[in-house]
Structure 1
Amino acid sequence: MAKISDVAREAGVSVATVSRALNDHPNVNPEYADRVRAAAAKLGYRPNGIARSLRRQSSDVIALIISDVSNPFFTAITRGVEDVAQRSGYSVLLCNADEDSAKEATYLRVAEQEQVAGVILSPHMAGSDVSRLRGANIPLVVIDRPLNEPVDSVMVHSREGAESATNHLLDAGWTRPACITGPEEAATAQERLQGYLEAVRQHGNLDELFVHAPFRQHGGARAASELLDAEVAPDALFVANAQMTLGVLDELKRRGLRIGRDIGIITFDDAPWAPFISPPMSVVAQPAYDIGAQAAQLLMERIRGTAPAERRQLTLSTTLIVRESSQRSWGMR
């Protein structure tokens, strides 16, 4: 690995000049700066981010560690985080934990080693280990899922949204709604299941039909197959996120089931494709951009030292958007 002294030797300048040139210092002779950049590119030199952060005792980078970069919900969160961070003079390092506790632990370790200014985390589970951040005094805000730590958080009323979605299916005339939710260790999966169960129990002697599966397309397909093959099959589905819903739609198509006639469906998250499929998808919309923006604002206040000592917990509301997929009469037109 090339060192800064190697770059200085190649460019014919001092180590101090290399440092100033690579940090865009205004007092560096443009000719020297060009030579330094050319030498760094030739040698494949990369500045030592850890050492640079330690010298400054601060960083202008925050880490955003999310569960699934392919999920449009997290795309909108990322935009909210980035907009607030950029206005505050910070860059965002996006890390995809991929619903993997080992990858999450790796990114938390990197955030601590690189001395980032702060971290926004969508934890894999409530027991995710953030002790490295705590030991390094790096501020942390959690989003989407709770953490067993006294830190700032921005959540959504998942249980209420799920209850509203299930009540809507029942009010629309479906009599055997089922719930396809995420893995048991995910707090959001449990909250959405509880909302479904509360609605079903309020309507009297109804079957409680539900399956846990990964928050992924293949998880939705597998869960739908299991429910539809059961002795008591559902006539409607509440699905806990949009990625799973894509798998559910594939399974319904494979079986030749008509949405709105043979089966109703509603999902958590208003994915970009939801209004444009046939029939358009009913959803429980989350304020994803606001989650990211408010989390970033909380983090900025922690970084600046203007936040109160006690943790802050924000919980945002969902919005039920009724389209044709949950309407029992749609397929009979």
Structure 2
Amino acid sequence: MDKSRNRRPTIIDVAEHAGVSKSTVARVLAGSSSISEDARDRVMKAVAATGYERNHLAVGMRSGRSGLLGIVIPDITNPFWAGVARGAQDRAAEHNISLLVFSSDWDAGKEARHLRALRQARVDGAIINPVADNFDDLSRFGLPFVFIGSSAERFSDVSSVGSDIAQAVRLGMEHLFSRGHTRPAFILGPRSRLARARFLRTVHDFCVERDIDPAVLAMEDAEYTVEGGKAAMERLLARRGRGYLSVFAANDLMALGAMMAVREAGLSCPEDVSILGFDGIPAGAFAWPGLTTIEKPSREIGVRAVDCLLDEIAGRPEHGRVYMPCRLIERGSLADLTATAPKMVAAGR
């Protein structure tokens, strides 16, 4: 077996192929202007022919910059967080920077390991959705960083980017009420998540403003997954008895799981049950009926986070908390109860 096929091309290979010295190759790759056009052309052709790639870690050790950023998101399988990562990757690429992506799975231990790996890789900075309250001790993190997501609001001294949850939930509540859904039920996230508290606080304030006792509204906690939403909807259906049911789910995966539970109960959406989602993931458009939802700007959050991080790396002033507005996407999962009387059905039939 030819072992040379498994050897990475070196700067010496490029120099031999171009017929120039190793130092000439180094100066060309460094962008030096004191190189003849002929030599520069030969070196670049040799780079392409040999497949040579620069060792960015070695370059970074000399220049102090690696040309790498990192991002740690909680769940890469959730399309919302995948959208955040894609936006960050696209913006980084515009600056000729590569992005390393890690998923913490909402696990503080995994988050800590990923952050150590980023430091060891000498990335120039990191974008993080913090899982733990202490976050690996901010005072000794030793790397420029920006937070994303609702959890970031726990850290008022750190620049962060996230959806405007209060604006988004209020937008959802206003839409529900405008369609006659004045006593919706809620599928919320785990009690340990700050997003749940922010969501619930906005619902509470909205109801109080309209002289509605929030305590009369049915609520179920669940994981932010399809399975969690399905199980929560099954519990809501079991306790509902007879009557029309409207549900506001705290993310689209849970909303899609709730739609599954409705179908399995022999009911129809929105004839028997209306469902409003939260996130705006693409899968909602392909559900039947299409999922009405509040869309959070996932890609834009990633883009803005990279912009903020590059400012942090450059030593420019902190941005504080950047709130990104959300918008309503109206499809078919939410009935207009002001136009037609809902069909009264037994929820458990």
* TM bracket, shorter-chain basis: 0.7 to 0.9
Alignment of 1:166-177 (within 5 A): 166-177=173-184
Task: Specify the alignment match of 1:327 in structure 2.
Answer: 335
Q: Structure 2: which 5+ residue stretches go unaligned?
A: 1-5, 17-21, 30-39, 344-349
Correspondent of 1:221 among 204, 227, 230: 230
Q: Does 1:139 align with 2:157?
A: no
Secondary structure at the counterpart of residue 181 of structure 2 = coil
Correspondent of 1:240 among 225, 239, 250: 250
1:67-97 CA distances to partner (integer Å, 9 max, x unpaired)? Answer: 1111221222222212221111210101111
Task: Specify the alignment match of 1:109 in structure 2.
Answer: 116
2:190–2:221 CA contact under 8 A, matched in 1 = yes
Query: How far 1:55 moved relative to its partner?
Result: 4.6
Task: Specify the alignment match of 2:346 in structure 1.
Answer: none
Q: Does 1:316 align with 2:321?
A: no
CA distance in 1, matches of 2:319, 2:136: 18
Alignment of 1:1-333 (within 5 A): 30=46, 34=50, 49=57, 53-129=60-136, 131=138, 135=140, 137-145=142-150, 146=152, 147-148=154-155, 150-201=157-208, 202-205=210-213, 207-230=216-239, 235-305=245-315, 307-308=316-317, 310-328=318-336
Query: How far 1:53 moved relative to its partner?
Result: 4.5
Query: Which range is displaced more, 313-322 or 61-70?
Result: 313-322
Which TM-score applies when normalising by structure 1? 0.80
CA distance in 2, matches of 1:215, 1:164: 20
Residue 149 and residue 102 in structure 1: after superposition, are their counterparts in 2 closer, same or farther (change >3 A)?
Answer: farther
Residue 127 and residue 137 in structure 1: after superposition, are their counterparts in 2 closer, same or farther (change >3 A)?
Answer: closer
Query: How far 1:130 moved relative to its partner?
Result: 5.1
Q: Find the structure with the greater CA-based Rg.
A: 2
Residue 243 and residue 128 in structure 1: after superposition, are their counterparts in 2 closer, same or farther (change >3 A)?
Answer: farther
Residue 54 and residue 249 in structure 1: after superposition, are their counterparts in 2 closer, same or farther (change >3 A)?
Answer: same
1:83-125 CA distances to partner (integer Å, 9 max, x unpaired)? Answer: 2211112101011112222211111111122221010112225
Query: How far 1:7 moved relative to its partner?
Result: 6.5
CA distance in 2, matches of 1:203, 1:163: 16
CA distance in 1, matches of 2:108, 2:275: 31
Secondary structure at the counterpart of residue 77 of structure 1 = helix
Query: How far 1:235 moved relative to its partner?
Result: 1.1
Query: How far 1:174 moved relative to its partner?
Result: 2.7
Secondary structure at the counterpart of residue 98 of structure 1 = coil
1:178-220 CA distances to partner (integer Å, 9 max, x unpaired)? Answer: 1111122222222122222333333524612212221111111
CA distance in 1, matches of 2:279, 2:173: 14
- Equivalent residue pairs, number: 313
The CA RMSD over aligned residues, in Å, is 3.7
Residue 127 and residue 182 in structure 1: after superposition, are their counterparts in 2 closer, same or farther (change >3 A)?
Answer: farther
Percent of matched pairs sharing the same residue: 26
CA distance in 2, matches of 1:186, 1:321: 25
Residue 127 and residue 325 in structure 1: after superposition, are their counterparts in 2 closer, same or farther (change >3 A)?
Answer: farther
Q: Structure 1: which 5+ residue stretches go unaligned?
A: 1-5, 38-46
